Amino acid sequence: MNQAKAQQLIDLNPNCAYAALLRTAQDSMKETPPEIKIGSTVRVHVKIREGERERVQVFEGTVIARRGSGISETFTVRRLSYGVGVERVFPLHSPNVVKVDIVRLGRVRRAKLYYLRGRVGKAAKVRQKIG
């Protein structure tokens, strides 16, 4: 649901439970979400809590999927770690995702790159977008 439609529903009946849910979702969405494209190599900075301490951990890999919309939008990042494929799903609007750096833009012709799961080495590379 887009922002205008959500605002229209809130204005129509501001006391209903669904309007309260929409207001909460709007408040917790990021003002400027990062421009993440499929096939891009990204560096995701994530907050990790270990007991009392809180630190930022970096996860770098290729974006293989995006799904959802609004507050529930997520993106999946895949990387190889010691020869084993590791995938993490990050909520786009989560407060635990501190920032997303785009390292390299990829040139792909698919919306989902699940075929990379079966590939290793150079076959798992995504062509770089130039310009």
Domain ranges of the chain: 1-30, 32-122
pLDDT bin (cut points 50, 70, 90) of residue 3 is: low
Classify 82 in phi/psi space as left (phi over 0), alpha (psi -120 to 50) or beta. Answer: left
Mean model confidence pLDDT for the chain: 86
Residue 38 has pLDDT above 70, yes or no: yes
**Which residues neighbour 12 within 8 Å (Cβ) at sequence distance 6 or greater?**
19
Residue 122 has pLDDT above 90, yes or no: no
Q: Give the orientation angle of helix 17-28 with respect to helix 3-12, to 10 degrees.
A: 140
Q: Residue 90 and residue 92: Cα distance in Å, rounded?
A: 6
Instruction: Count H helices and E strands in the chain, helices first.
Output: 2, 5
**Which residues neighbour 23 within 8 Å (Cβ) at sequence distance 6 or greater?**
10
Q: Please tell me the pTM assigned to this model.
A: 0.80
Residue 65 has pLDDT above 90, yes or no: yes
Provide the CATH number for the domain formed by 32-122 in this structure.
Answer: 2.30.30.790
Residue 52 has pLDDT above 80, yes or no: yes
What is the average per-residue pLDDT within 104-124? 89
